[in-house]
Structure 1
Amino acid sequence: MIETFLEFEFLRNTLYTGLLVGLIAPLLGTFIVVRRLSLIADGLSHVTLSGIAFGLFLEKKIALIAISPYYMGIGFSIIGAIIIEYLRSVYQSFQEIAIPIILSVGVGLSVIFISLADGFNTDLYAYLFGSVAAVGRGDFYFIFMISIFIVLAVIFFYKELFAISFDDEYAKVSGIHAKAIHLLFIILTALAISASIRIVGVLLVSALMTLPVAASIRIAKSFKKAIFLSIVFGELAVLAGLVSGYYFEIPPGGTIVVSLALILGITLFRKSR
């Protein structure tokens, strides 16, 4: 079945992009879950949707502005990440409130721009739930660069990310520039979410960042092993989603989430036994 994906260029782009997404989403998702920020993926995904809707609006109403809705969504996601980090510094005692604030604003803007862009269409449907045929060569190269950047950043700043994830106060006392690392991490998360929506879709991308981690931490005996298992589970689910999406002509995002749920169920059952 995988051989079919290697025959056609658009399927190769989708397959390679899916493998990249299956790597970076669980990789950052492990840090997100440990930091108890699982909802941040939902918040940033809805901000990304507002950017995509704004891009579609510009395409339909102001044809002179030729900016891809996908890249507009990435820009909105990064801005949303920076705003979340700012709000977390403002509300020191209630940092979690930053996420529902940005999520609500993202949903509100999405509704407005979708309405101005004459409602739902095929392009928006693909952004919401993912698509097997949505990834072009240019998109693949762009997502490849994002993936390289994310992996290198995690490698170079692993100790700092590990420290702020488990003990933020200790990280500050030990001389780590916590604010800078927090900002870097949330921007990396925004980039990973933006990269993943081509395959998983805006509404389901948070599952790819949290469900494989939820499964891995049930059986892993160390943090690094949890990262490794999360990536393995993520890759398996992405492959299942792409294959089923192509042969059954359905959005791959749904199958990816269901596959991850099954993996989680297996780990829960195995652990209970």
Structure 2
Amino acid sequence: MSGIITELQYYFSYPFVRYALVVGVLVALCSSLFGVSLVLKRFSFIGDGLSHVAFGAMAFATMFKLANTTVLVMPLTVLAAIFLLRTGQNTRIKGDSAIAMLSVGALAVGYLIMNVFSVSANVSGDVCSTLFGSTTILTLTGAEVTICIVMSVIVVAFFVLFYNRIFAVTFDETFLRATGKKAELYNLMIAVITAVIIVLAMNLVGSLLITALLIFPALSAMRVMYSFRSVVIYAAVLSVLGAFAGMILSILFSTPVGATIVVMDILIYLINCLAGRILRH
């Protein structure tokens, strides 16, 4: 045990490891807050679709050799979120069809761009890192960490300030409209913030695994808790715990960061399923 503590102290002496832990915890917290609403609104796969859009935008940013890819990735992903929300209200194209089209199209275009306009000798490694977040979180700069902290504070502040509206739009949009509030506006804001969270999470778990951060903590909390408030709080605790434990295990055993975090989330989900069964009996 003392050997593990000594090893962790050694790793924590490096700034990039501390940066990774800070970003990982903040992204996990933000993901869990809005993941509950996405699950309850049966719009879970918006995370999957937007993550593929973010991958395509990342490929464009790489092609243009941008020093800060977030400058391009964030706006394009937010626009995609608005497009998905608007298209989901179209009677000719259902929401799941729009997500499927955008998801597959962005993934294919992004991979094509990274191959045709490659700026690296290891295209496969770059694609793998972007899709699964194997090492990108360990290359964060101080500026990127600052951006993540600022955006995370904005996301959490929005959730706290508009908690009642988010609760209403999650369960009963008709009631929210009856009170004179614009349900479409809050749906749009939730979609935009989800896009922001996905861009922040790309460096943590990669494009293909982002949905796990949004879904697993919410589903785990729903196995044990029953009120919206308790589910959100418990999901946040589980998400932060899973991200922190996954990153620590990844450091100790040299496993891919994103995949390790997702495996921890799966284990937490299974434990809560068992705990839920025991509590019900």
TM-score using structure 1 length? 0.91
Question: Which of 151, 154, 157 lines up with 1:152 in the alignment?
Answer: 157
Deviates more, 1:243-252 or 1:122-131: 122-131
**SS in structure 1 of the partner of residue 203 of structure 2:** coil
Residue aligning to 1:120: 123
Q: CA, structure 1 residues 214+92, in 2 after alignment: closer, same or farther (shift >3 Å)?
A: farther
1:253 aligned to 2:258?
yes
Equivalent residues of 2:111, 2:127 under 8 A apart: no
Equivalent residues of 1:5, 1:15 under 8 A apart: no
Q: CA, structure 1 residues 94+122, in 2 after alignment: closer, same or farther (shift >3 Å)?
A: closer
Query: Match for 2:97: what amino acid?
Result: I
Question: Which of 3, 11, 16 lines up with 1:10 in the alignment?
Answer: 16
CA distance in 1, matches of 2:12, 2:71: 27
Query: Match for 2:41: what amino acid?
Result: R
1:242 aligned to 2:242?
no
Unmatched 5+ residue regions in structure 2?
Answer: none
Shift of 1:121: 4.6
CA distance in 2, matches of 1:180, 1:234: 27
CA distance in 2, matches of 1:113, 1:5: 36
Shift of 1:4: 4.1
Question: Which of 228, 237, 255 lines up with 1:232 in the alignment?
Answer: 237
CA distance in 2, matches of 1:263, 1:82: 32
**SS in structure 1 of the partner of residue 105 of structure 2:** helix
CA distance in 2, matches of 1:235, 1:171: 31
Residue aligning to 1:129: 132
Question: Which of 187, 193, 209 lines up with 1:204 in the alignment?
Answer: 209
Residue aligning to 2:73: 73
Residue aligning to 1:96: 96
CA distance in 2, matches of 1:167, 1:143: 32
CA distance in 1, matches of 2:224, 2:10: 34
Shift of 1:30: 0.8
Q: CA, structure 1 residues 95+204, in 2 after alignment: closer, same or farther (shift >3 Å)?
A: closer
Query: Match for 2:211: what amino acid?
Result: S
1:49 aligned to 2:55?
yes
1:185 aligned to 2:190?
yes
Deviations along 1:213-245, whole A, 9 cap, x unmatched? Answer: 111001013111111111111111111221122
Shift of 1:5: 4.9
Residue aligning to 2:199: 194
Query: Match for 1:38: what amino acid?
Result: S
Q: CA RMSD in A?
A: 1.9
Residue aligning to 1:30: 36
CA distance in 2, matches of 1:5, 1:227: 32
| Count of residue pairs the alignment pairs up | 267
Equivalent residues of 1:126, 1:251 under 8 A apart: no
Query: Match for 2:112: what amino acid?
Result: I
Unmatched 5+ residue regions in structure 1?
Answer: 60-65
Equivalent residues of 1:53, 1:69 under 8 A apart: no
TM-score using structure 2 length? 0.88
CA distance in 1, matches of 2:256, 2:22: 17
Report percent identity of matched pairs: 25
Shift of 1:202: 1.0
Shift of 1:11: 1.1
Q: CA, structure 1 residues 12+125, in 2 after alignment: closer, same or farther (shift >3 Å)?
A: same
